[in-house]
Amino acid sequence: MGVTRLKRKDRRNKTVSRLEVQFLKLGRNLESGSRSREPKNSQVVKNNAVLDQIVAQSK
C-alpha cells in the first residue's frame, strides 16, 4: 500500500504540535545552576543594569 498524504488540516496540526512540544522543552530545561545563568557580559545583563539605573533615578 502506498504512502497516504495527510490532509491540509492534519499536516497543520502535526506541525503545530511538534513546534509546541519544542517550545515547551526549550522553556522548561532551565536549571538553577551556573550553566543557565546569563554571562556577566551578555547584552541582556547590560540592558537590565541600565533599566535598573533608570528606575532608581526616577524614584
Query: Residues 24-42: pLDDT tens digits?
Result: 777 766 555 555 667 778 8
Q: What is the pLDDT of residue 26?
A: 72
Residue 1 pLDDT > 80: no
Cα distances (Å, whole numbers) of residue 52 to 1, 31, 36, 44, 58? 64, 25, 22, 12, 10
Residue 39's identity, in one-letter code, is P
Question: Rounded distance, CA 17 to CA 58, Å?
Answer: 45
| pTM for the model | 0.36
Q: What is the pLDDT of residue 59?
A: 79
Q: Using DSSP, state whether 12 is helix, strand or coil.
A: helix
